[in-house]
Amino acid sequence: MPRKAMELLTESMFYVLMALCREPMCGIDIATFIEKRTGGRIQMGPATLYTILGKFEKEKYIRETEVSGRKRTYQVTEKGAEAYRAELERLRRCLEDAESCMRGGI
Amino acid sequence: MSEKRSAYRLPPCPAYDVEGMESWLSDLSAEGLELERDGFFLGIASFRRVETPRRLRYRLEAAPNSGKFLEDDNSTPQQEALELSEALGWEFITRRGDFFIYAAPEDGTRELNTDPRVQALALDMVRKRQKGAIFRCVFWGILYPLLISRIPPALALLYLPTALVILSPILLIWMLAGAIHEARHLKRLRQKLQEGIGLDHGTDWKQRAQRHHIRRGLCAGLWILWVCLLLQFVGLSITEEDHIPLAEYNAEVPFATLEDMTVYPAEHRENSILSSTVREWTTLLAAKNYDWNELGYITGPDGIGFEGTFYVEYHETAAAWLAWLAAQEYHQHDKWDYSPLFHESNYEAIELPELQADLAIAYYNQYHATTVVLQQDNIVMRAVIFPHRSDTPLYSLKDWVRVMDAKLAEAVK
């Protein structure tokens, strides 16, 4: 059955949720966290990050907790944490299948 | 780097051609032209010349909210988006259409969008707004003019000049085609992004530039022509320069006039408000049209006078169905026309004798003037007689209508 748009998290979306599951952050801190975590492999573009934050807020995956000047701090919601765990589980199974495939030669 | 002076350019592609716009702006920056803050006005881009040209990256980002009526409304992104962009090396420049434009140096700065699938989500907001554009075309192009003018559509076709009748649907179709083209372009762009393919920031914008300029020039020319024709039409309606005084008009008319309603001689006069005039015109859908206004005075042998106004609107249309439709519109317009003085309709139907006309309706209109609408084949007319004094030598309504009907039947032959 095809998955709906928000069920399918892109890599960028996954890492944003990862950052916010760790602790509440503002946008620039999320970008910095992702860059450090991936060793520079993912350098989040500002428009990408801003679109993801807007989409997640609309889908109630995250909520705004603090506004300080132009900075807005976000926190993951239970719905967002659940989506993150589901994606993590999916990726883990993909990895397990791939590794067992490598071992078994199938 | 010092600023020298401004330069102006016409964009070679529409606002929604994201790849074309990005490529064009980047190419111009390499020539020393950098887009100015709030750099779009009425579709013209304004640039500052820099002494040392440097190639900039320009990127268009879908705006989350619709802009104002004008394509270039110079609204800005939200503060948080501005802060994020600046922190990561991107400067917000201006807005054009549904897109914000950002710039950054060619090297070093990460891309504005690093995930095509997320960019596709942002584009969805623009596409949703686009769907409304087609409905807006229909509303502003058809419904709104009819609502504002209060002229029923078939009668509008008979009264409006041929050039306006031809040009109006052309412009409407052009607007609709433009909206559909934009919707299809954005759909293709979205599909590309959804497949994970990034945009081509170096696309060859020159290829389509000439076609785009020709299209824009033609469209602007047609709109200017349309506005001029409309102003001319409205101007003539107000000044009545094309109305000929009856005293100077010698041609025969194909309908009955005041003279035909009485055995006594009728005289035309003018007062400070009314004058006896006729207007003749031809349109695409009606070869002959008359607007007859007669302020008549009739004196009988015993001195009893008649003073009144007699109006005729007469059209020889291109088809019987059009004449029938116009007749219905005349009738309905009068029936539902409420008197501003009495705040109610004074409409009252009048019974008519058997006539030759295909359609014959008589009534008192909101001003209690006797009105008759006749239609036979492709000819339709509405006659209104409004006596200012009623003590006299005119035919009765039934005889009057028979005279009009007979004259109409002759015209049809």
ipTM of the complex: 0.89
Chain B, 122 to 181: residues with Cβ < 8 Å from chain A are: 122
- The pLDDT of residue B1 is above 50: no
- Identity of the residue in A44, A55, A70 whose CB atom sits nearest the CB atom of B114: A44
The Cα B302–Cα A98 span in angstroms is: 116
Q: Would you call A16 an interface residue with chain B, using a CB distance cutoff of 8 Å?
A: no
Mean of pLDDT over chain B: 86
- Residues in a beta bridge with B348: B364
Amino acid B43: pLDDT: 85
Averaged pLDDT for residues B167-189: 90
> Is B177's pLDDT higher than 80?
yes
Residue B210 has pLDDT above 80, yes or no: yes
Contact B306, B388 (CB under 8 A): no
Residues in chain A: 106
Structure-token pair, residue B378: 């492709």
What are the structure tokens assigned to B118, written together? 């997320």
Residue at A53: amino acid letter: L
- B375 or B144: which leads in pLDDT: B375
Amino acid A3: pLDDT = 45
> Is the pLDDT reported for residue A5 higher than 60?
no
Q: Which of A12, A52, A71 has the CB atom closest to B83's CB atom?
A: A71
Residues A22-29, mean pLDDT to the nearest whole number: 94
pLDDT value at B105 more than 70? yes
* Chain-chain contact of A70 with B87 (C-beta, under 8 angstroms): no
Number of other CB atoms surrounding residue B297 within 10 Å: 16
Question: Residues of chain B with pLDDT > 90: what percent?
Answer: 47
Higher pLDDT: B177 or B302? It is: B177
In the DSSP assignment, the letter for residue B140 is I
Nearest CA in chain B to A13: B118
Per-residue confidence band for A1, with pLDDT thresholds at 50, 70 and 90: very low
Q: pLDDT category, B140, cuts 50, 70, 90?
A: confident
Q: Does A65 touch chain B (CB under 8 A)?
A: no
pLDDT at residue B21, as a whole number: 95
Cα B341 to Cα B135, B254, B337, B355, B367: the distances in Å are 37, 35, 12, 35, 10
Q: Closest partner residue to B113 among A11, A48, A71, by Cβ?
A: A48
Dist. CA B408–CA B286, nearest whole Å: 16
Beta strands in B169-227 (DSSP E): none
Stretch B164-178: mean pLDDT: 89
Closest by CA to A18, choosing from A3, A33, A7, is A33
Q: What is the distance in angstroms between the Cα of A105 and the nearest Cα belonging to chain B?
A: 30
Quote the CA–CA distance of B392 and B403 in Å, as a whole number: 18
As given in the structure block, the two tokens for residue B404 are: 């009009």
Q: Compute the count of residue pairs across chains A and B with CB atoms less than 8 Å apart.
A: 75
Pairwise pLDDT comparison (B363 vs B271), residue with the higher score: B363
- Per-residue confidence band for B305, with pLDDT thresholds at 50, 70 and 90: low
For B81-90, B304-313, B318-327, B376-385, which range has the lowest pLDDT when averaged over its residues? B304-313
Say if B197 is an interface residue toward chain A (CB within 8 Å): no
How much is the pLDDT for A2? 40
Q: Is the pLDDT of residue B341 over 70?
A: no
* Residue B37, helix vs strand vs coil: strand
Residue B373 to residue B189: CA distance in whole angstroms: 57
pLDDT at res. B2: 45
The reply to whether A73 touches chain B by the CB within 8 Å rule is: no
How far is A68 from chain B, CA to nearest CA, in Å?
A: 10
Give CA angle at B277 (B409, B334), nearest 5°: 65
Q: How far is B161 from B153, CA to CA, in rounded Å? A: 14
The confidence score (pLDDT) of residue B34 equals: 96
pLDDT for residue A34 is more than 90 = yes
The count of other CB atoms within 10 Å of the CB of residue B374 is: 29
Quick check: B120 pLDDT over 70?
yes
| Contact residues on chain A for B104, CB-CB shorter than 8 A | none
Candidate from B82, B112, B117 with C-beta closest to A45: B112
Q: Is B28's pLDDT higher than 90?
A: yes
